[in-house]
Structure 1
Amino acid sequence: MDGEFKRLKNIQMNALDENIMAFLEATHISVQSEGICNPRGPFKRSLIHYAAMGDCTELLLRLLDIGAPIDDRDQNKRTPLSWAAEYGSYNATRILVENGAQVNALDGMYGTPLSWLEHAGHPGCKGLPVTKAYLKKNGATMKGAKRAWILQKLGLL
């Protein structure tokens, strides 16, 4: 899992935030000495969110084995699947969906995992096309983004 933590620390969004880096470092040390757990860090993201984001399959499977909630919500109500989709983390997306993650879970901004992939997906992520195809094959929609737009037009958002 050392390589997976290294990958998480190299993700630009994480590397630019000293609080996230401190969380990842402390969690990495804790996992090595005390075993796997699912602590919550900055922005109320737990380790399962980061594992999904970084396509860290070994870490993700171990977290699921200890009962980490598959649809855990961060401060913006985003799920691990939402983060996996945004980063084109195909293997993590597949693991999450196969283990019952809600493919159309709405977050606090009425976004779905597919809408995050479409609108915020990182162009350098080679896994975006295959992740998108997999999500669509499993019933993912962008209904959240459309709903937010309608609510905004009605002045309800």
Structure 2
Amino acid sequence: MPTVETKISQAIQARVASLPLPYPVLWTDDEPASPPTSGGQPAPYIEAHHEPNRTVRLLIKADAPHERPGLLLLTLCWPIAKVGTGSGKTHRNAVREQAGKIAAHFPAGLCMSFQGVGVNVTKAPDVLGAYRDDAYLRTQVRINLRTFA
């Protein structure tokens, strides 16, 4: 029988796998993988990270359900070489729109479940400002989660 932590993770992974976008998802805690390419050039992808927070005991009884908050961080990574206003480039606002579609896939109140454990989205996701690194424009979507188990 899987632990509560595994059930939480499986519920989250299943929802992420159903994102309605064509970009591959790379989990930060999975086997190392190279970012995808298309025609020898970097291609867009989503970096996924689940960050559990401190478990909270709310009731007196030791084996009563505990609150298990956490964050799901989904970062849309868009190749810098493909951002701009020229031919074949994607405007930064269009990239932000794609991040908004990721957020819309996790509406407030959504319950994701796996083997009897429900993971709830506690509020509308945050679409943060984009930042650049050497190769990508990164736009993070922060999703607050909570489980009682």
Asked if Structure 1 and Structure 2 have the same fold, meaning a TM-score greater than 0.5 normalized by the shorter chain, the answer is no
Greater Rg by CA: 2
Higher relative contact order (CA 8 A, sep 6+): 2
Structure with higher strand content: 2
Structure with higher helix content: 1
